[in-house]
Amino acid sequence: MILGIDPGRSKCGLAVVGLDRKLYYRSVVSGDELLAQVGRLLGELPISTLVIGDQTTSTYWQEQIKRAFPEVRLVAVAERYSSEEARKRYWDLHPPKGLLRLVPRDFRLPPEAYDDVVAMILIERYLAGLLDADRR
């Protein structure tokens, strides 16, 4: 399994995806809770790799994670445009209801944090990179 982390200053997105590409967990947590949540997930699930976005506060969180969990493989993944992609994907996961269905997708703003969806996208990018490497 792969744990994806969308690092941020005040909140972070988490997602766990199996090698079967099935989603097993996703959540948005405060920065204060991140290491505890990562530790809990590592204890509960057979996670082999942590994937973290390479932008906002990534260096700080990479250092914290390596210090707290030195045995876990940590890989930084390009995060560029992942928030925009996640904002659109949010509506696939939570289809709009009522009049909001009439608003074009690009004009809708999710009513809640979607950092967990960004974490899912980071895992997808990591897996796509592995497939590309295998094809070479």
Strands 49-53 and 2-6: parallel
3-class SS string, the chain: CEEEEECCCCEEEEEEECCCCCEEEEEEEEHHHHHHHHHHHHHHCCCCEEEEECCCCHHHHHHHHHHHCCCCEEEEECCCCHHHHHHHHHHHHCCCCHHHHHCCHHHCCCCCCCHHHHHHHHHHHHHHHHHHHHHC
Q: What is the pLDDT of residues 30-40, one digit of tens each?
A: 999 999 999 99
| Full residue range of the structural domain in which residue 59 is found | 2-135
Is the model's pLDDT at 27 over the cut of 90? yes
Is the model's pLDDT at 109 over the cut of 90? no
Is the model's pLDDT at 124 over the cut of 90? yes
Tell me how many domains the chain contains: 1
Q: What is the pLDDT of residues 51-86, one digit of tens each?
A: 999 997 999 999 999 999 999 999 999 999 898 899
pLDDT for 102 equals 87
Residues pairing with 51 in the sheet: 4, 75
In this prediction, residues 10-29 reach a mean pLDDT of: 95
Global pTM value? 0.89
Contact present, 59 and 83 (Cβ < 8 Å): no
In this prediction, residues 14-38 reach a mean pLDDT of: 96
What is the overall mean pLDDT for the chain?
92
Q: What is the CATH number of the domain that holds 32?
A: 3.30.420.140
